[in-house]
Amino acid sequence: MATTALTLSAAPLWAQEAEETQVIGISIPAATHGWAGGMNYFAQAAVERLEEVYPQLDFVLATASDPSKQVSDIEDMVATRGIDALVVLPFESEPLTGPVKAVADQGVWITVVDRGLSEPGIEDLYVAGDNPGFGRVSGEYMVSALPEGGKVVALRGIPTTIDNERVAGFEEAIAGSGIEVLGMEHGNWNRDDAFTVMQDFLSKHSQIDAVWASDDDMAVGVLAAIEAAGRSDVKFVLGGAGMKEMIARTRDSDPMVPANVTYPPSMIASAIEITALGLVSDAPVAGRFIIGSELVTPENAEQYYFPDSPF
Amino acid sequence: MATTALTLSAAPLWAQEAEETQVIGISIPAATHGWAGGMNYFAQAAVERLEEVYPQLDFVLATASDPSKQVSDIEDMVATRGIDALVVLPFESEPLTGPVKAVADQGVWITVVDRGLSEPGIEDLYVAGDNPGFGRVSGEYMVSALPEGGKVVALRGIPTTIDNERVAGFEEAIAGSGIEVLGMEHGNWNRDDAFTVMQDFLSKHSQIDAVWASDDDMAVGVLAAIEAAGRSDVKFVLGGAGMKEMIARTRDSDPMVPANVTYPPSMIASAIEITALGLVSDAPVAGRFIIGSELVTPENAEQYYFPDSPF
């Protein structure tokens, strides 16, 4: 008996690893549409791709409609599936911090996506979008699209750090250009709020050259308000986040939607793929990966259009 | 004829892509030993792994002993191999910036590793080590290893931004602890310089509890100086970067080398792997990936020891 045990444990480490299946748990907020719907789609697609490429990896994907369901999903993954790694996009930071820390303390690799936990240092890998970059790329586009300068209005999201970082990046990028910001108001990343805010802007200002809607949902509301008002002075609306319908309009050279700036829900796929990489290769993947915001134009829009995604 | 052409181009995009081989060029400084030697080893290992996993990917790996050879390597990859992506660790920033920009302008994906180019925004993906984190993790270890406080000396690298960031992270981490830094001098990441600096420290100070050598080459020089002086007051030396021989001493519980802090040459593998991911999956991989510096202790040293690597 003792000899057998010794022989087994003397097998080369790579051989032991090759035989062993490793399990990655993925816990994300549920959604059937919008940005979160896209995130769900890309998480599922990444799992399917990885299952095909790496037979030695198994995946558990759970979606939750509230933080307490998400906590119990995660506890379940540890208890019944013995996960080796957890990829989590927290529903909310506060209620998930303690439970995720408890999982980390058991030696499970932790990848946190997009929304950070309330305590630093719990996760091994953090994957998130680039909010200052989102604003900067948007501002740079405005400057290039209005080379003679012009009068613009801007819509902000829900008052948050994310929104502040985006706006700061935008303002820095247009500083010193001929662009004059007539007004900036919170449309709360909401279509209806954005419609109302834009109605106000249109009634206050007789000449608006362009709108930084800063989000595709808000852009939809803004475009509706412009159409309802019958105004032809507004040359274009710049949204953001890469909603499918808006990417299609850019691809099809709609002059009102000439560009987009990404904040891709597919960052969940990057997080899952890189977590998998940490299990199948010697490449170090602990750290902080900030996914860049990229400018989408008619020339490259096709590569940002995913026909099967809901977003 | 026209009908055939139409039929061909109407094939689904994924099918066209699946048939097409994509080529990744890798251009790195040559080296047979030290950190750069490890980097060469891990680049080669990543290529071998990826060639096995993804038959649709081809790789060209070139190593250069000076910047002009590196420039001509890269130009050659574009001209004769038509690379789709370039992973480059610049020998020097200045002479590589123009040539890499010219490659980017042709639509080739650019991944820059460790040493940035002189102009921002050229690369699609930037992969680098975490210098402030390297210092912070080192400082946190010092605090935990000297819970009653103590007198330490520290060695710095070549005067650079990298060195400043590391030292600032270290100083922040030990602030408010009982650790007193008796002296801090530049050992220039050099074994012999570190030996001389440490000789000076030992002659000036009769009681030194520990040394932050901040680099494994310098740690080797420091340990030699301590031994030559026959001093038994120094409890341990903390190096960094994860040199094989030092990782082995930590693994084997050498009391003088109780820990290490990573700044892994295998980050080149992360860069190559993630660049490949951008070609084979829908996961967005543009952005900025800062590879974390991790604490190596006897408990986890085995996973940081690579028997076939020269470093």
Distance CA A216, CA A206 (A): 24
Share of chain B above pLDDT 70, in %: 94
Name the band, by pLDDT with cuts 50, 70 and 90, for residue A4: very low
- Are A55 and A145 found together in one domain? no
- Are A150 and A99 found together in one domain? no
Chain B residues with at least one Cβ partner in A under 8 Å: 42, 45-46, 49, 53, 124, 130, 262, 264, 266-267, 269-270, 272-274, 277, 281-292, 294, 306
Strands B125-129 and B287-291: parallel
The neighbouring-strand residues paired with A112 are: A88, A126
Q: Is residue A310 part of a domain?
A: no
- The angle that helices B67-81 and B93-105 make with each other, rounded to 10 degrees, is 10
- Are B124 and B136 found together in one domain? no
Question: Helical H runs in chain A?
Answer: 2-9, 13-19, 34-53, 67-81, 93-105, 131-145, 161-174, 191-204, 216-229, 244-251, 267-280
Distance CA B286, CA B301 (A): 32
Q: Nearest chain B Cα to A309, which residue? A: B282
Say whether pLDDT at A42 is over 80. yes
Distance CA A242, CA A41 (A): 14
Minimal Cα–Cα distance from B272 to chain A, Å?
Answer: 9
Distance CA B108, CA B86 (A): 7
Q: Are B282 and B14 in contact (CB under 8 A)?
A: no
- Are B46 and B117 found together in one domain? yes
Name the band, by pLDDT with cuts 50, 70 and 90, for residue B1: very low
Question: Which of helix, strand or coil describes residue A140?
Answer: helix
pLDDT at B18: 53
Handedness of CA B44, B259, B152, B256 (dihedral sign): negative
pLDDT at B20: 86
Domain containing residue A186: 131-240
By residue count, chain B amounts to: 311
- Are B180 and B224 found together in one domain? yes
- Cross-chain residue pair B269–A284, CB shorter than 8 Å: yes
* B224-240 tens-digit pLDDT: 999 999 999 999 999 99
DSSP A106: T
What CATH number is associated with residue B79?
3.40.50.2300
* B184-201 tens-digit pLDDT: 999 999 999 999 999 999
Six-digit token string for A71: 């906590």
- The angle that helices A34-53 and A267-280 make with each other, rounded to 10 degrees, is 30
pLDDT at B8: 42
Distances (CA, A) of B90 to A285, B32, B36, B125, B269: 21, 17, 12, 14, 15
- Are A284 and A224 found together in one domain? no
* A179-195 tens-digit pLDDT: 999 999 999 999 999 99
Q: Are A282 and B307 in contact (CB under 8 A)?
A: no
Q: Is residue A253 part of a domain?
A: no
- Are A225 and A155 found together in one domain? yes
Q: Are A167 and A135 in contact (CB under 8 A)?
A: yes
Say whether pLDDT at A160 is over 70. yes
Name the band, by pLDDT with cuts 50, 70 and 90, for residue B33: confident
pLDDT at A6: 40
For residue B272, which residues of chain A lie inside 8 Å, CB to CB? 283
Split into its structural domains, chain B has a count of 2
Q: Is residue A256 part of a domain?
A: no
- Cross-chain residue pair B292–A286, CB shorter than 8 Å: yes
